[in-house]
Chains A and B, each alone.
Chain A
Amino acid sequence: MTRTPIFVALTAAVMLTAAGCGTSTEAEDGTITLSFLSYNYGTADLGGEGTQQLIDEFEKANPTIKIKPQGVAVADVLTKLRTSTMGGDGFDVAQVGWSKMAQAYQSLPVTAVQDIASTQDWQDTTAGFNQNVLKATQRDGTTVAMPYTMSIPTLFYNANLFRDAGLDPADPPSTMDEVRAAALALVEHGAQGVYFDVANASKSDFLTQSLVNSNGGAVVAKDGTVTLDQPPAVAALQTMADLTRSGAQPGISESDALAAFKAGKLGMLVTSTAVLAGLDAAAAGNFQVQATGFPGFGDKKPRPTYSGAGLVVLSKDKAKQQAAWKFIKFLTSEQAFTTITTKIGYLPLRPSVVTDPKYLKKYFDSDQRLLPALRQLDTLTPYTFFSGEKADEARLALQDEAVEPIALRGADAEQTLHTVADKIRGLIGQ
């Protein structure tokens, strides 16, 4: 055999070997490295800076635990988690949106955080937590994903545009009828009226559920039956169609609506509290951003559900699970919620930090805009999931084939919801 073929064969072998090489995440000195997938990490509007600060503070306090964060688009969280798990390079801890949680439980190796902590540690950690939030997010009585970045849909409004349209910014609308009237007044004065972020780019149905719940209905009943084509749900979404058809709501995408509000052209925006920091930054020096609670239907009390995310542990390694629990405890501590609220824009889930001078008392004394949303945390409705393997596909069908055409193009809610409800029932085997 000549030397040339040996050289060629060796080159091929080295190339293939190099392609298959990975790196170990455990150092010889016992440092544990946790891979952390977060849709806040690395972003501008959604608090990339705040998330990095939390990671830095945790690592400083826990020198034997290193966090390896990775960012991802909100809509791609499940895709990223499933493909990385399939590829044998899964994450140890992940921030998963509530709308994707059912599918995450179904398809990912999730270990309940409550099962990782000792009983005493769990009780001590959750003692100061908002108990309604904990209960609402439990699965069969156990906390599987730790509530982390959570928000309630909030009505943000441009106080300057309100004044120009003859509306009183100190008396914002609190019902759908009032919202519609205010929106039409804004339109008459040359601005855009209102935008309900129901057809959002991340395909989350939290606002859809908030609307339907507030009108006395449900997208999914407690027994798992699909009820999105029942009269209360139809009427709730017909309100969106009517707003668009009347010109009170522009039929545009979420990103266009956010851009319009930031440019001072849109009077009201109903969306997650997480956008507040971005709205303030854009409005600075131009107009005043105010906020009020989610509007109700007539005299029915608003019953919004939550958006945001929980933290799940995906590692099966016991040492990593304990490290992950330490990380999660830190991310849901009083100090962390101070950063989460001031920098990232989600709600503090420990009520005590709101009135504690060490944490957020000064913040809420000077800025009360998130207080209406905070109050609604105590009465929020649990987020409901479609059941089965096709839960995610069902949610996407609801958002893409029903909510979007109804809200953005004024499609007839009854007909559209009946068609999509039948499709969803077929998908989930009902």
Chain B
Amino acid sequence: MTRALWYLAPLLVVLAVWVYGPLAFTVVLSVLDWDGSGTPTFAGVDNFVKLFVQPEFPAALLHTVLLVACVLPFATVVPMSLAIMLWKRPGRASSVYRALLFLPVVLAPVATAMSWQFVLNPLGGVLNETLGLLGMDPVNWLGDPGTALPTIAVITAEKVIGLNVLLYGAALDGIDRDSLAAAGIDGATEWQTTRHVVVPQLWPITGLLAGLCVVLAGQWAFTNVAVLTQGGPDGVTDNVYYRLYTYGFTFFDTGVASAGAVVLIVVLGLPLTIRTLLRRRAS
């Protein structure tokens, strides 16, 4: 055991310095009033109260939930469908499509966000020009409070789809072939086989990707919000992560930002902790 600890020591030191240390510091900061310079003063729960008394944080929470709801289908249903289609038609074309779908994942987030700015330009952007050819009116995709959040969700989803198609592809390679053969012998159609045999075997990976989406969608959207909308219009694209960044690095209200981070840890960590404890109890 002692020897094992020595081998683990570098990793534990790195975790302590770069992960758990800052986490502990964040909890400490959440009860202080400090702008990063000068002497901090004890604020107790004032920062938490400020967080919920001002309308911005609750609004950002709501927008984060809406963002997750918009991105979730693109993190699960869409990549699952694409992966199944590619799995059923193996060959060179399938590999090419996989590579094309994965391409957005490797492109720099700021560069892709700026490209979207040109595509979505309300005056002469590619998308509105195409809509014009179809006889539709141009839309101010990022400037209209009604369309800005779904637009950010779709732009965010572009990266998510590619990676998740890859993950679903790996899961499909592990599908029980005997169950497919049995379904064929029983006379099941392709659709019935997909629906009742293939998809249920993808529930574990779907659960994982859905969970990751819930936890990380706000972070995935951060660059797009920072580059394209800065939380606007009317704050509709302001999600929890961008709001915490604004508190911490624009207003330098480190206490409130840290309080928000603590709230986030509790909100996201509690269900996961309860789930883990219940699973342990069940097993």
Contacts and interface: CB of A to CB of B under 8 A. Distances in A.
Interface in B101-127: 117-118, 121-124
A260 B7 CA distance: 60
Given A107-B252, A250-B122, A405-B233, A12 B143 contact: no
Contacts of A78: 250
Contact of A86 (B3, B36, B123, B250): B36
Nearest to B247: A393
B123 A252 contact: yes
A427 to B, nearest CB: 10
Contact of B122 (A252, A400, A404): A252
A265 B140 contact: no
Contacts of A263: 123-124
Given A259-B118, A263-B124, A400 B231 contact: yes
A256 interface: yes
Interface residues of B, number: 31
A82 interface: yes
A260 B250 contact: no
Given A79-B250, A260-B123, A393-B251, A9 B9 contact: yes
Nearest to B13: A12
B142 A253 contact: yes
B233 A15 contact: no
Interface string B9-30: 1100110010000000000000
Contacts of B250: 78-79, 392-393, 396
B252 A82 contact: yes
Contacts of A119: none
Contacts of B230: 75, 201, 203, 400
B123 A192 contact: yes
A15 B123 contact: no
A127 interface: no
Given A85-B37, A251-B143, A256 B9 contact: no
B35 interface: yes
B233 A404 contact: yes
Interface string B228-253: 00111111000000000000011110
A250 B37 contact: no
Contacts of B7: 8
Nearest to A87: B36
Interface residues of A, number: 40
Interface in A236-265: 250-253, 255-256, 259-260, 263, 265
A390 to B, nearest CB: 8
Nearest to A261: B123
B191 interface: no
Given A9-B9, A82-B36, A251 B249 contact: no
A286 interface: no
Contacts of A203: 230
Given A8-B10, A16-B13, A79-B250, A405 B35 contact: no
A424 B42 CA distance: 25
A265 B9 contact: no
Contacts of A369: none
Given A253-B143, A404-B232, A5 B35 contact: no
A409 interface: yes
B230 to A, nearest CB: 7
Interface string A146-163: 000000000000000000
Nearest to B228: A253
A389 interface: yes
A367 B6 CA distance: 73
B123 A265 contact: yes
A4 B6 contact: yes
Interface string A179-196: 000000000000010000
A70 interface: no
B233 A83 contact: no
A83 B35 CA distance: 10
A86 B249 CA distance: 12
A370 interface: no
A259 B121 contact: yes
A98 B145 CA distance: 30
A11 interface: yes
A256 B141 CA distance: 12
A46 interface: no
Nearest to B230: A201
A260 B124 contact: yes
B249 A8 contact: no
Interface in A358-407: 389-390, 392-393, 396, 400, 404-405
A416 to B, nearest CB: 11
B10 A11 contact: yes
Nearest to B36: A86
Contacts of A79: 249-250
Given A252-B121, A389-B35, 11 more contacts: A16-B17, A82-B37, A107-B35, A250-B122, A251-B140, A266-B123, A390-B251, A392-B250, A393-B250, A405-B233, A409-B234
Interface of A: 4-5, 8-9, 11-12, 15-16, 75, 78-79, 82-83, 85-86, 107, 192, 201, 203, 250-253, 255-256, 259-260, 263, 265-266, 389-390, 392-393, 396, 400, 404-405, 408-409
Interface of B: 3, 6-7, 9-10, 13-14, 17, 35-37, 117-118, 121-124, 140, 142-143, 145, 230-235, 249-252
The 3 closest A-B pairs by CB, nearest first: A5-B6, A12-B10, A86-B36
16 contacts: A4-B6, A5-B6, A12-B10, A15-B14, A16-B17, A82-B36, A252-B122, A252-B123, A256-B143, A260-B124, A263-B123, A263-B124, A392-B251, A393-B250, A396-B250, A404-B232
